[in-house]
Chain A
Amino acid sequence: DAKTTQPNSMESNEEEPVHLPCNHSTISGTDYIHWYRQLPSQGPEYVIHGLTSNVNNRMASLAIAEDRKSSTLILHRATLRDAAVYYCIFGGGGSNYKLTFGKGTLLTVNP
């Protein structure tokens, strides 16, 4: 199974940036890095994904290390609605359809 390492929990203040780290040292060359989040009582929600280059979308930015063994999800201005469990996953490239979820990081946003 694809293993990632994330902090169990992180805390942020509203309207401040949040940097959520993830280590994925066993990633292969064809594996994408995915981030999902799960709000209370909801299904996991796609946030962003990337392969090698940094990525931006309306929800967040993804910074990928040059060696691809780590990445950081950046929420530029945290809101109370961003409080969730954030999962970092790698896989999904080519025939590797499996996305194996770990425990994720529980993000708390303080008003």
Chain B
Amino acid sequence: DAGVIQSPRHEVTEMGQEVTLRCKPISGHNSLFWYRQTMMRGLELLIYFNNNVPIDDSGMPEDRFSAKMPNASFSTLKIQPSEPRDSAVYFCASRPTGGTGNTIYFGEGSWLTVV
């Protein structure tokens, strides 16, 4: 089975540029999560979608960050303008419909470096 697919795997961009990270959840999963991981702060939940609707975006650091889920098989996380402190690994995860205990499955991550 294909897991959660993220792209790009690695991105190096200059400060001020727009960054778009993409995610394809596992087919049939109705919940999607975006996490960010840094050495200092560990894994942080940024936003959670259920049935394509954003339910909780309290973890989004500031207005420069936005996330969309136009359909059940695609989501984007956009940073505009990007800053060096946004350098991190961004993980997308999805959860199966009706799964017990709300277990989530992660993608391989998008490694972002802003210089």
Q: State the A residues within 8 Å of B (CB).
A: 32, 34, 42-46, 49-51, 87, 91-93, 96-103
Contact = CB atoms under 8 A, between A and B. Distances in A.
A97 B108 contact: no
Q: How large is the interface on B (under 10, 10 to 19, 20 to 34, 35 or more residues)?
A: 20 to 34
Nearest to B48: A97
Interface in B58-108: 91, 93, 95, 100-108
A51 B56 CA distance: 25
Contacts of A50: 101
Contacts of A49: 100-101, 103
Contacts of B31: 97
30 contacts: A32-B102, A34-B101, A34-B103, A42-B109, A43-B4, A43-B91, A43-B93, A43-B106, A43-B107, A43-B109, A44-B93, A45-B106, A49-B100, A49-B101, A51-B101, A91-B102, A92-B102, A96-B102, A97-B31, A97-B48, A97-B95, A97-B102, A98-B45, A98-B56, A99-B45, A99-B102, A99-B104, A101-B35, A102-B42, A103-B42
Interface of B: 4, 31, 35, 42-43, 45, 48, 50, 55-56, 91, 93, 95, 100-109
Identify the 10 closest CB pairs spanning chains A and B, nearest first: A92-B102, A32-B101, A43-B106, A101-B43, A49-B101, A44-B106, A92-B101, A43-B109, A43-B91, A43-B108
Contacts of A45: 106
A17 B62 CA distance: 45
A101 B42 contact: yes
A19 to B, nearest CB: 22
Contacts of A34: 101, 103
